[in-house]
Chain A
Amino acid sequence: MKAEHEDLLRKLALNEEGVLASLLGVDLADAEPAVLDVKTAALVRLAGVIALESAPATYQWSVTRALAAGASDGEVVAVLEALAPVVGSVRVSSAAPEVALAIGCDLDLPGDR
């Protein structure tokens, strides 16, 4: 496989913003607050990540952005709670450890799969 393909796929697996932005044709970084402020926008994206059964790298990225935008740990967790009725408890409980890890609780996650 060509090196450029390897690079692309590897960076995608990292949820690397540069390569994703060019693929999606969107600027992922500072969404200039149009209607929603930066923090709220970040938390909304996090909700989407949780709802969609995403990879750990995407969780990490999304939570980090939310925290960088000024969200507190409590607010991040609150997103999980707010989502629960909509996406169901199964989704939320499988998302919770990934969110916890992203906030920085070193929970021992089961399995190496």
Chain B
Amino acid sequence: MGVVESPGAPATRSDAAYWFGPSFLLEESKLRPPSSRPGTVHRTAVLERLRAAPDVPVISVAAPPGYGKSALLSQWIEETPRRVAWVSIEPEDNDPAVLLAYIAAALDRVQPIDVDVLRTRAPPGTSVAATVARRVAATMSGMVDPVALVLDHTELLHNHQCRDAIAELAVHLPSAGQLVVASRGEPPVPLARLRTLGAVLEIGVEELAMGETEARQLLTGTGLDLADTELAELVGDTEGWPVGLYLASLALKAGSPRSADRFAFSGDDRLMADYLRTELLSRVPRGRVSFLTRTSVLERLCGPLCDAVVNGTRSGRLLEALEGSNLLLVPLDRRREWYRYHKLFQQLLRAELGQREREVVPELHARAATWCEANGLPEMAITHAQAAGDADQVARLVTAYAQPAYAGGRHETVDRWFQWFDDQGLIDRYPSVAVMGAVLRAVMGQPAAAERWATIAERASAEATLPDASTMASWQAQLRAFLCRRGLAQMRRDAQVAAEGLAPGSPWRTSALAMEAVSWLLDGEPERADPILARAVEVGRDTGAAPVVAVALAERGVVAIERGDWDDAESLAGEAGAVLRDGHLDDYGPGVIVHALVARTAAHVGDVSRARESLGQAARLRPQLTYAVPFLAVQTLLELGRAYLALADAPGARVVLREAGAILRLRPDLGRLPDEVAELRSTLDTLQVGAVGASSLTAAELRLVPLLSTHLSFREIGERLHVSRHTVKTQAISIYRKLGVSSRSEAIDRVVKIGLLA
């Protein structure tokens, strides 16, 4: 099955590790289109419509469950001349990094793709949505044969950035490329706009409802033969709803007499459930029913997993038998090891389970979680443990897997894992989760959440131990060091305590070392800082702490500049940049200092365009620099200010110094940083004001820039950024003026030209 082998095995193209780091699990089954099964009704009429529009860029298949969307698509892909890349969306795809990985893997199956195209550094100023869309479009256009990208079950995508990415892709497809989006509800593509362009073909309920001919085929396939009038009645009652027809046919075959109210089908789930219960499940041997309902808690089923969940022994055989006799269990791979239930059927089974044995459900999830964890599927284990309400297990798994996932770039996923504890009101009970969550939130630039979690984490007993054998005391010290609420000297002490108490193999030890070093640097003792930084780099490389390694290298670069060794600084800048690139750490907030260093060394040798490009990258990430990790934020902003100064851009320098000043007001005790910021400011005062241009864009405006390049209206942008439309409009006007343009398109062009957007 599609599980990554042990972390020791080298990554191949079919491994997730190739795309996203060792802790990411690529579920192969999501990339396999459902095969067109013999005996399924051939949707001739709809296929004819699709055939008539062979080159339409976007195909939208939107209908409620049970209309045969996936079946239609599996028939369509058999006859389309294009190569097909398929992704079945799951809830985990609500993370742009994950979604992109799956699309990439799907495209790779069609034709090996150029990983570099897909993995180019996110250009400065780009929104996540635009980045994903551009990369996918670029990859598709680079393929020899025309490709259709199919996304099934897009109703499961709620993350704004993911939906926006699909929408952007729909509008920017390469010629001969095609995007097919299947959804239960409204598909995540801008239909009105696409309709105006004649760029979409919509298949909906009207097209997918079965007519009498197709209904007859369906019923014949189940061995049922009806008179014309009876058939017409049935089709009318079910409104051509394929699943309704199917279940009705099962009932008729089982011989239940028809009565007027039996077949009053609509899409209403409750009617379906009642029907299923009385007509279908009541005729199935009790043991088998129990198997069906109990295993319905699983998104994916395999023999051993089902055995674990139902405490049985021959689930594998049973699954095979069920699959052969029934259209509602779907195999996910050729070897018939993994299956899933038809989604509608699963919902009904779950409802049934809830009715019959509600109290058993948590136990079932617990068993599933245990099995998943034991068999190398930690993320599935987390989902089941959450459903089981086994917070202990969830806590254990999250604290074990949060750092690798974060280091692999999956911030949204990690955020969700911690958010679960918040939603359940459980942070108090799990100090290890509290303290790790506080640290991660601080590093991810969420100061309010970090403070809240930190308060709880600090109340925990220092005697406790964390799963990785680190002491709670050391973790609390680490957290205190990051937040630096009581000044630099205290931060140093905290970092030292943390370094001593953290488990030797823990990647977090690198952060502790780095923080101690930075405290010396900011106190004016670079020669004490440097060796500790060097050690941090070594330790970090051994323990998979790539993000911190990049920062530590950049700090060494800052030290080098201080002693006047610009050559050394430049090579360190290059090294740090490579670590960020290789680790795919484009959105890593603390990494901004790397860009600052690159900008300074580039400016020093007169490479203005490279300096500007780095400053643009930094600008995109600057909103993540908050008072949560104040010493790093202020130091980074100071270095950015020096870079702007080197480019004689006083307004740009002023903007970053203002941001630094805002943080210093909250955290004034940061060694020599306040003085250095003041000094730089007074240097600026001696310069001419200069043109107020693009470098004067404030953090708030920088947050807006990427969204301007999308098709969203000002009001929709306001919803994304949680501000009013008036605010968006006012800020947009300010952006246009600073860029020297007078329209939105011109603004985008200008931003591209100066390197704030790809």
A residues engaging B (CB < 8 A)?
Answer: 7, 10-11, 13-17, 29-30, 38, 56-57, 60-61, 64-65, 67-70, 72-73, 98, 101-102, 104, 106-112
Cα A112 to Cα B700 with chains together (Å): 19
Dominant SS among interface residues on chain B: helix
Q: Are A61 and B737 in contact (CB under 8 A)?
A: yes
Q: Are A104 and B700 in contact (CB under 8 A)?
A: yes
Q: Are A108 and B723 in contact (CB under 8 A)?
A: yes
Picked from B681, B715, B734, the residue with its CB within 8 Å of the CB of A64 is B734
Q: B681 contacts which chain A residues (CB < 8 A)?
A: 70
Contact of B32 with A by CB under 8 A: no
Cα A65 to Cα B689 with chains together (Å): 9
Cα A54 to Cα B487 with chains together (Å): 44
Given contacts A60-B733, A73-B658, contact A108 B692 (CB under 8 A): no
Within the complex, the shortest CB–CB distance from A63 to chain B, in Å, comes to 9
Q: Are A67 and B658 in contact (CB under 8 A)?
A: yes
Picked from A7, A64, A69, A108, the residue with its CB within 8 Å of the CB of B727 is A108
Cα A33 to Cα B230 with chains together (Å): 94
Picked from B654, B655, B724, the residue with its CB within 8 Å of the CB of A70 is B654
Q: Are A101 and B692 in contact (CB under 8 A)?
A: no
Within the complex, the shortest CB–CB distance from B593 to chain A, in Å, comes to 22
Q: B689 contacts which chain A residues (CB < 8 A)?
A: 30, 38, 65, 68-70
Q: Are A112 and B723 in contact (CB under 8 A)?
A: no
Q: Are A68 and B737 in contact (CB under 8 A)?
A: no
Picked from A14, A67, A98, the residue with its CB within 8 Å of the CB of B733 is A14
Q: B743 contacts which chain A residues (CB < 8 A)?
A: 10
Within the complex, the shortest CB–CB distance from A73 to chain B, in Å, comes to 7
For the complex of A and B, 10 pairs with smallest distance between CB atoms: A60-B734, A56-B730, A68-B651, A109-B726, A68-B692, A57-B733, A11-B742, A112-B725, A104-B698, A108-B724
Q: A10 contacts which chain B residues (CB < 8 A)?
A: 742-743
Q: 8 Å CB contacts to A: which residues of B727-750?
A: 727, 730-731, 733-734, 736-738, 742-743
- A to B CB contacts below 8 Å, 6 in the list: A11-B742, A57-B734, A70-B681, A70-B684, A108-B723, A109-B726
Closest A-chain residue to B721, C-beta based?
Answer: A106
Cα A65 to Cα B696 with chains together (Å): 10
Q: B723 contacts which chain A residues (CB < 8 A)?
A: 106, 108
Contact of B688 with A by CB under 8 A: yes
Within the complex, the shortest CB–CB distance from B698 to chain A, in Å, comes to 5
Closest A-chain residue to B662, C-beta based?
Answer: A73
Contacts A68-B689, A69-B689, A101-B731 aside, 14 further interface pairs with beta carbons under 8 A come to: A15-B733, A16-B737, A16-B742, A57-B733, A60-B734, A61-B737, A64-B734, A68-B692, A70-B681, A98-B730, A102-B734, A104-B698, A106-B727, A109-B724
